[in-house]
A and B are shown apart, each in its own frame.
Chain A
Amino acid sequence: MATQANSLSYAGCNFLRQRLVLSTLSGRPVKIRKIRARDDNPGLRDFEASFIRLLDKITNGSRIEINQTGTTLYYQPGLLYGGSVEHDCSVLRGIGYYLESLLCLAPFMKHPLKIVLRGVTNDQVDPSVDVLKATALPLLKQFGIDGESFELKIVRRGMPPGGGGEVVFSCPVRKVLKPIQLTDPGKIKRIRGMAYSVRVSPQMANRIVDSARSILNKFIPDIYIYTDHMKGVNSGKSPGFGLSLVAETTSGTFLSAELASNPQGQGAAVLPEDLGRNCAWLLLEEIYRGGCVDSTNQSLALLLMTLGQQDVSKVLLGPLSPYTIEFLRHLKSFFQIMFKIETKPCGEELKGGDKVLMTCVGIGFSNLSKTLK
């Protein structure tokens, strides 16, 4: 029975998404206290409230209790339901904030999820939908989550602070996941990118492309950066531009980097040339870190490995991000899963920094929501 002893307790609002997502998947209730308790503006923020609302929409039977000031949250998860959902995300955070969690949950719904998310598609904080589309989706495919209906479509672009973007994410349902062995990152064979500009001159995108190419051309000739200038209704409510780059390797690994312009009215104006150059450098930085999974998707890969069958899964990662480290701890407390972590120091070959080989045995998770027919 869902006893109180079964529930986990945390303090602080950081890693809220991880906790709620893992709670939903493991079925263990979670209590989070002291959410910005010492802050001048205590309690949950709008974007977190919106996230909780989203969870409520895609689950059935969840119990959410928030105290008066919003500093304490008790979440008793229900079963993942899915179906057709629409959600207006808060403009304080990008859609990526919500989408990252949805990527973790979507394969385990009762009905295939088809969700329309509205809000900010590209911002400076969260991984943009472009990057997630280019990196997270192929990653999920490695685990056997695939099919016609598996897609992420960007209908409209919205930049902060106004937002107004829209994406459609649909994902099929799986009962079990395949174990993976991603130990060979392969070599980068091509670099693709997307330079977007909304409510600014279309020339901006071209300027970004030129500067980014100038850096990357030193390494590989196969570079193609698309320019995407959305107009009218599709351009959202605020002006802005940015660039996302994805490097694809011979073994199907995707590494990404992105940069967006400052939101309107915040900070100094950014030159598109600088942005392109910086973004290219970021991509090189990401390549230096290396691994078979992008640094933003590390936690997703580790989660899906954990949720696999009782088989050994392996993945080679670059240095672990703080988010991933916390995620590993959460995985331990929610699923009692510990990863075998082996550092692979870089040898003589010129392949960037140290790598980490993560190995685990899946917990034999099976989708409890899916109906047997």
Chain B
Amino acid sequence: METKDQKKHRKKNSGPKAEKKKKRHLQDLQLGDEEDARKRNPKAFAVQSAVRMARSFHRTQDLKTKKHHIPVVDRTPLEPPPIVVVVMGPPKVGKSTLIQCLIRNFTRQKLTEIRGPVTIVSGKKRRLTIIECGCDINMMIDLAKVADLVLMLIDASFGFEMETFEFLNICQVHGFPKIMGVLTHLDSFKHNKQLKKTKKRLKHRFWTEVYPGAKLFYLSGMVHGEYQNQEIHNLGRFITVMKFRPLTWQTSHPYVLADRMEDLTNPEDIRTNIKCDRKVSLYGYLRGAHLKNKSQIHMPGVGDFAVSDISFLPDPCALPEQQKKRCLNEKEKLVYAPLSGVGGVLYDKDAVYVDLGGSHGFQDEVGPTHELVQSLISTHSTIDAKMASSRVTLFSDSKPLGSEDIDNQGLLMPKEEKQMDLKTGRMRRKAIFGDEDESGDSDDEENDEISEDDELENGSSDEEAEEEENAEMTDQYMAGKGVKRRKLEELEEDSEMDLPAFADSDDDLERSSAEEGEAEEADESSEEEDCTAGEGGISGSKAVGEGSKAGLSPANRQSDRVNLEKSLLMKKAALPTSDSGHCTAEEAFASEDESEESSSLGAEEEDSENEEAVRKKLSKPSQVSSGQKLGPRNLIDETSDIEDLLKEEEDYKEENNDSKETSGALKWKEDLSRKAAEAFLRQQQAAPNLRKLIYGTVAEDNEEEDGDTREELGGLFRVNQPDRECKHKADSLDCSRFLVEAPHDWDLEEVMNSIRDCFVTGKWEDDKDAAKVLAEDEELYGDFEDLETGDVHKGKSDSDTQNEEVEKEVKEEIDPNEEESAKKKHLDKKRKLKEMFDAEYDEGESTYFDDLKGEMQKQAQLNRAEFEDQDDEARVQYEGFRPGMYVRVEIENVPCEFVQNFDPHYPIILGGLGNSEGNVGYVQMRLKKHRWYKKILKSRDPIIFSVGWRRFQTIPLYYIEDHNGRQRLLKYTPQHMHCGAAFWGPITPQGTGFLAIQSVSGIMPDFRIAATGVVLDLDKSIKIVKKLKLTGFPYKIFKNTSFIKGMFNSALEVAKFEGAVIRTVSGIRGQIKKALRAPEGAFRASFEDKLLMSDIVFMQTWYPVSIPAFYNPVTSLLKAVGEKDTWSGMRTTGQLRLAHGVRLKANKDSLYKPILRQKKHFNSLHIPKALQKALPFKNKPKTQAKAGKVPKDRRRPAVIREPHERKILALLDALSTVHSQKMKKAKEQQHLHNKEHFRAKQKEEEEKLKRQKDLRKKLFRIQGQKERRNQKSSLKGAEGQLQ
């Protein structure tokens, strides 16, 4: 039943399936199709022309090669720093809104106010630092240098604005980060078509600027003041998956985009001098390259500094732990923006900061309650001094009374004193000692408290300091007894801080040797710590004082104090032991084998290092503590057990004591270098800790300090200590040869045997021994089948193994090891075979490019692997701080305006400088005026350059290079051409791009970027010349020789130019011959032709120009808040003239005047008579004698008519007038008639045409009808036929 209902299968006649079938059918018929044309018609595809073939091959290869970039070593860190996303756009385009939306999208948090960079975790492996960029060109330049990705906001309703193009150009010059356009305000379009058109137009313009196909994002509209969620989400997705190409400048320089700033200056210093230089710490993620301690940095907008200290902190916005899940949970979606007040609790080296919501440390809030406190804090002199200086007038005409007056006449005070105001009352109390004291005390106390409160943040107060000093003394006394006080809580941190390689190495030893040499330990440690380059010259006692005075750094002090308060703790238990075994072994060795003397020495050395390590753990070694510790130690040192030490050692100590106050310098210095020599004697026996030997234990080095800190006695004399520093060391022979100190006896057999294996004749390692390798190969490749003969060769070893296997079977697998080894062998064999196969087929043609790439990859792997196993503290020492770390950078001597005028909206960038990049010199660059800049640039006009990290104003000279390499000065830049520019400024590596702007202040109407280019050359001298023409005049002319004067001033000058080429204006060339005696500076010259007296002779010379050494960094960040975009440097002469209304005094000769040409008066041509005669007639001057006056008789007489005649004439005149009038009329009539006739004719013609047209129309209609009829009839006929 059902089968009947089913439809019959119908073949498909169209669609893909049918096509396929058709094709198959055709193939079966061997007809093929178009795709197989090559097969179908091989002749057509044969090589027609070998040349063309070669050419096309060449072309494909070229294209392939063009795609290659030079392979570079991949230096990206494993945990990269957050990507810097710069949100840029003109005002009111929606930047802040976009940032807020993005943050909300990623973190589900809403930031009310955004100041400075905001770091967020955007994915499992990516973090973003989002920062807003306003329209200040300073900010634009700075941010373009650090940006990884730029979100370029464009107001679609308005179109592109100048800022957008400026920023694009800035980006282009400084490396071109990824740029993504975002169109906003798209909801303002009413018509869809217009919107589409605008989108398209903007997109194409954007593409021409960035690159064709650059991503442009559309944010269609706002919902409740925010962008649409879906769009923001998509944008976020785009950002998180974006890939970046390394930029040369960014990968070769370390930089930090600071997201937090703290002022570490001693509040006391600020109190006394509000304008004192500040010490600040800046925080941020390190990017780019490795940053080393003490290296040079540049802060754009502030200046150059040296990093005084750098440390890394735990990541405040860490990436989540690696887990196998798709997305982040809420806890991991971190946001960190300390400048905006987000980030919660911040940990620092010596403090914890808790954000109290909105109250920021940099803003002076002057509430009424704070006013008193503030005023008290801001007093600059003590109350005593104030009182002493204050005066009071009781009566209007009386002499003002000072405090001393009151003292003197205390009892004579009149009764009116009760009417005194509060102030005088105080005065009075002041006079009465006890009373005054009390009140003063209370005031002081109050003051103290306040200051304490105030300073609590920075971590110290005066009281604390005192207490601490005392404590310090006790502390070091205790330390002398070998007891270490440490803070329990700080333990972990501290042990992190020190260098694990040697910090803890000597514990055992210290404990063992503690009993034997307490005193020694004390003095030695002090010595060890403070040995410096040997800039001594101060007595020990002096040094103590100095030490206690020096370095009142509150931070250090506090940390010390903290240490003091700690409970006693055994150090050994606390510290992790990494390589202590090594050292103790060595130490033990030393103490056992060497004499007592040397052992004590060794112990001392170790102890001191131990001490150092501890101190370093507690805080950075502070000058204070070391100085204080010195005092008693020195005493002990002087009095006790000097005899224990070598004489040389003694000298050392004294030297060191002298230079105590310069502590903190490298501890290894002289002392250790001496030890180096000693240690090297021991080196053969025990493996020493070389690192300790070379670098010492303290990483601190401020050699700069020890230059001028010599103490002076009474300000006049210097204590000249006998400078007994190891003369033989400092002034010894400078030779690189490493002399053998204890030569071996090479006649002995065992000594000779010790180097046997260094020669090829010796024993080889297993993997390199030729015989063994051969045997192995034999084992692996031994069996093969000869295909020609069909023989099967079996490897020897293989058969062996087979035998073994047989045996094994017999043994029933007694030994599992053997089986394993066999397996291994089998695997080995397989691997080798695969390698062979790969070598033969896959890697047959490895190009140069591939090799290079492989090499780079290998290097990258090595870079990653080398320090991977070490912990960060040690790693940082070797590599420097690596990018991706969150670092805290301390900088000293920062101008106070930086702190006072701190504006978190402006980016603070710490750009690391390479070697010599901090120096200045002449920089030569290739420059081109920007095509959109309206003016041309003038040589010697100050202009602001942005090169490398810097923005600075300088005075460039423009030049062009002639074909012979001469650099010729240009007054102005060429309009549409490259030229050279040279200026005096900071040295920046060649190949760095730059841009120039005329001014960074205010708003300029047009495009602001004046020129762009690239640095070509750096030098300390420059060879730009300008043309100088010396002119002279001939005063005596012989045949080809002339005497010229006025070109030089003396015979000496002439002598200098003898043989030089000269020329006249008319083009006669000549040469200077010799100076003449008569007019000073005249000379004899010979020419190729005779000169005229009216000729001017000139000589073309080249005169070197000098570049003004003017380098003025743009310090825009130091300007007051709100005025940061008003920096103005040196003005150009033009601007100055305009400002002062000074008009340029024009050279009268240079003025343009109407050209008045006097009529040229030619003398008559005089032809001699003889010549005239000789001339043919036609050339003879035709001098016709002028017609003379017509004589009277020749003149015709006047005709006087008769009246009758006159009548006739009048009648004739009248007749002729009438006739002519008649004729005129007739002519007019004729004309009219003609016109009429023409018109009639035209009309006729028209009618005729019309008639014809109608006729034709009729005809055609009839014809058409006829035809239709015919057709109809024919159709009908056909149908009829059919039917």
- Which positions in A face B, CB cutoff 8 Å? 1-17, 25-27, 31, 34-39, 60-61, 78-79, 97, 100, 110, 125-127, 179, 181, 185, 187-189, 215, 218-221, 250, 281-282, 284-285, 287-290, 295-296, 298-299, 309-312, 319-326, 328-329, 332-333, 335-341, 343, 345, 349-354, 356, 359-361, 363-366, 368-373
Q: Which of B256-301 contact A (CB under 8 A)?
A: 289-290, 292-296
Q: What residue of chain B has the Cβ atom nearest to residue A100's Cβ?
A: B736
Partner of B862, one of A37, A187, A312, A351: A312
Interface of B is mostly: loop
Contact present for B736 and A368 (CB under 8 Å): no
Contact present for B704 and A5 (CB under 8 Å): yes
Kindly state whether residue B707 has any CB partner on chain A within 8 Å.
yes
Partner of A187, one of B764, B867, B1016: B764
Binds A, one of B50-58, B153-161, B687-695: B687-695
User: Which residues of chain B have C-beta atoms less than 8 A from A12's C-beta?
Assistant: 729-731
Contact present for A11 and B289 (CB under 8 Å): no
Contact A6:B306 (CB < 8 A) given known A38-B723, A127-B737, A333-B703: yes
Contact present for B759 and A61 (CB under 8 Å): no
Partner of B730, one of A11, A325, A356, A371: A11
Q: How far is the CB of A311 from chain B (nearest CB, A)?
A: 5
Kindly state whether residue B589 has any CB partner on chain A within 8 Å.
no
CA distance A340 to B727 in the complex (A): 31
Q: How far is the CB of A101 from chain B (nearest CB, A)?
A: 10
Contact present for A343 and B690 (CB under 8 Å): yes
* Size of the chain B interface, CB-CB below 8 angstroms: 97
Q: How far is the CB of A136 from chain B (nearest CB, A)?
A: 11
Contact A361:B760 (CB < 8 A) given known A60-B1021, A325-B673: no
Q: How far is the CB of B692 from chain A (nearest CB, A)?
A: 10
User: Which residues of chain B have C-beta atoms less than 8 A from A126's C-beta?
Assistant: 735-737
Partner of B690, one of A6, A341, A369: A341
Contact A372:B991 (CB < 8 A) given known A8-B703, A350-B754: yes
Q: How far is the CB of B1023 from chain A (nearest CB, A)?
A: 11
Given A6-B306, A365-B915, 17 new contacts (CB under 8 A): A12-B730, A14-B734, A27-B987, A39-B731, A126-B735, A220-B759, A295-B738, A311-B862, A322-B677, A325-B694, A329-B673, A333-B703, A337-B292, A339-B694, A339-B878, A372-B990, A373-B1016
Q: Report the 8 A-B pairs with minimum CB-CB distance, sorted nearest first.
A: A61-B1020, A12-B730, A27-B916, A321-B738, A336-B292, A295-B738, A372-B990, A350-B757
Kindly state whether residue B897 has any CB partner on chain A within 8 Å.
no
Contact present for A125 and B737 (CB under 8 Å): yes
Q: How far is the CB of A238 from chain B (nearest CB, A)?
A: 20
Q: What residue of chain B has the Cβ atom nearest to residue A346's Cβ?
A: B754
Q: What residue of chain B has the Cβ atom nearest to residue A187's Cβ?
A: B760
Contact present for B676 and A352 (CB under 8 Å): no
Contact A351:B755 (CB < 8 A) given known A282-B740, A368-B1018: yes
Q: What residue of chain A has the Cβ atom nearest to residue B987's Cβ?
A: A368
Kindly state whether residue B512 has any CB partner on chain A within 8 Å.
no
Contact present for B73 and A309 (CB under 8 Å): yes
Contact present for B694 and A341 (CB under 8 Å): yes
Partner of B866, one of A11, A60, A312, A338: A312
Partner of B1018, one of A79, A215, A320: A79
Partner of A127, one of B534, B701, B704, B736: B736
Partner of B755, one of A3, A296, A319, A352: A352
Partner of B294, one of A38, A336, A343: A336
Q: How far is the CB of A204 from chain B (nearest CB, A)?
A: 23
CA distance A353 to B683 in the complex (A): 10
Contact present for A215 and B759 (CB under 8 Å): no
User: Which residues of chain B have C-beta atoms less than 8 A from A127's C-beta?
Assistant: 736-737
CA distance A16 to B730 in the complex (A): 10
Q: Which of B1016-1038 contact A (CB under 8 A)?
A: 1016-1021
Binds A, one of B238-246, B837-845, B918-926: B918-926
Q: What residue of chain A has the Cβ atom nearest to residue B702's Cβ?
A: A5
CA distance A35 to B755 in the complex (A): 42
Residue from A1, A220, A298, A343 whose CB has the most chain B CB atoms within 10 Å:
A1
Q: How far is the CB of A332 from chain B (nearest CB, A)?
A: 6
CA distance A267 to B687 in the complex (A): 38
Contact present for B676 and A16 (CB under 8 Å): no
Q: What residue of chain A has the Cβ atom nearest to residue B753's Cβ?
A: A350
User: Which residues of chain B have C-beta atoms less than 8 A from A296's C-beta?
Assistant: 736-738
Q: How far is the CB of A248 from chain B (nearest CB, A)?
A: 11
Contact present for B757 and A13 (CB under 8 Å): no
Contact present for A219 and B731 (CB under 8 Å): no
User: Which residues of chain B have C-beta atoms less than 8 A from A288's C-beta?
Assistant: 744, 754-755
Contact present for B676 and A325 (CB under 8 Å): yes
Q: How many residue pairs bridge A and B at CB < 8 Å?
A: 274
User: Which residues of chain A have C-beta atoms less than 8 A from B680's C-beta?
Assistant: 319, 322
Contact A34:B730 (CB < 8 A) given known A321-B736, A323-B735: yes
Partner of A354, one of B687, B704, B732: B687
User: Which residues of chain B have C-beta atoms less than 8 A from A310's C-beta?
Assistant: 73, 75, 252, 289-290, 863
Contact present for B673 and A326 (CB under 8 Å): yes
Q: How far is the CB of B1104 from chain A (nearest CB, A)?
A: 15
Kindly state whether residue B743 has any CB partner on chain A within 8 Å.
yes
Q: What residue of chain B has the Cβ atom nearest to residue A26's Cβ?
A: B915
Q: Which of B904-956 contact A (CB under 8 A)?
A: 914-921
User: Which residues of chain A have C-beta atoms less than 8 A from B673's C-beta?
Assistant: 322, 325-326, 329
User: Which residues of chain B have C-beta atoms less than 8 A from A8's C-beta?
Assistant: 703-704
Kindly state whether residue B880 has any CB partner on chain A within 8 Å.
yes
Q: How far is the CB of B627 from chain A (nearest CB, A)?
A: 21
Q: How far is the CB of A343 from chain B (nearest CB, A)?
A: 5
Contact present for B732 and A371 (CB under 8 Å): no
CA distance A354 to B690 in the complex (A): 12
User: Which residues of chain A have C-beta atoms less than 8 A from B879's C-beta?
Assistant: 361
Q: How far is the CB of B987 from chain A (nearest CB, A)?
A: 6
Q: What residue of chain B has the Cβ atom nearest to residue A336's Cβ?
A: B292
Kindly state whether residue B179 has any CB partner on chain A within 8 Å.
no
Contact present for B730 and A219 (CB under 8 Å): no
Contact present for A218 and B990 (CB under 8 Å): no
CA distance A251 to B1270 in the complex (A): 108
Can you give 25 contacting A-B residue pairs, CB < 8 Å? A1-B919, A5-B306, A11-B533, A14-B732, A14-B734, A36-B731, A38-B731, A60-B1020, A78-B921, A79-B921, A187-B759, A289-B738, A296-B738, A310-B289, A311-B73, A311-B75, A321-B738, A322-B673, A343-B688, A356-B690, A361-B866, A361-B879, A368-B915, A368-B987, A370-B990
CA distance A14 to B534 in the complex (A): 14
Residue from B290, B688, B730 whose CB has the most chain A CB atoms within 10 Å:
B730
Kindly state whether residue B1231 has any CB partner on chain A within 8 Å.
no
CA distance A5 to B295 in the complex (A): 12
Q: Which of B974-991 contact A (CB under 8 A)?
A: 986-987, 989-991
CA distance A97 to B735 in the complex (A): 8
User: Which residues of chain A have C-beta atoms less than 8 A from B376's C-beta?
Assistant: none
Contact present for B694 and A181 (CB under 8 Å): no
CA distance A111 to B743 in the complex (A): 44
Kindly state whether residue B668 has any CB partner on chain A within 8 Å.
yes
Contact A78:B293 (CB < 8 A) given known A27-B918, A309-B73: no
User: Which residues of chain B have C-beta atoms less than 8 A from A320's C-beta?
Assistant: 690, 694
Q: How far is the CB of A308 from chain B (nearest CB, A)?
A: 10
Contact A187:B757 (CB < 8 A) given known A36-B731, A361-B879: yes
B347-377 Cβ-contact flags toward A at 8 Å (1 or 0):
0000000000000000000000000000000
Partner of A333, one of B666, B683, B735: B666
Q: How far is the CB of A26 from chain B (nearest CB, A)?
A: 5
CA distance A78 to B1020 in the complex (A): 7
Q: What residue of chain B has the Cβ atom nearest to residue A215's Cβ?
A: B746
CA distance A310 to B77 in the complex (A): 12
CA distance A31 to B743 in the complex (A): 38
Contact A284:B746 (CB < 8 A) given known A359-B866, A372-B991: yes
Partner of A11, one of B73, B535, B733: B535
Q: How far is the CB of A25 from chain B (nearest CB, A)?
A: 7
User: Which residues of chain A have C-beta atoms less than 8 A from B867's C-beta?
Assistant: 340
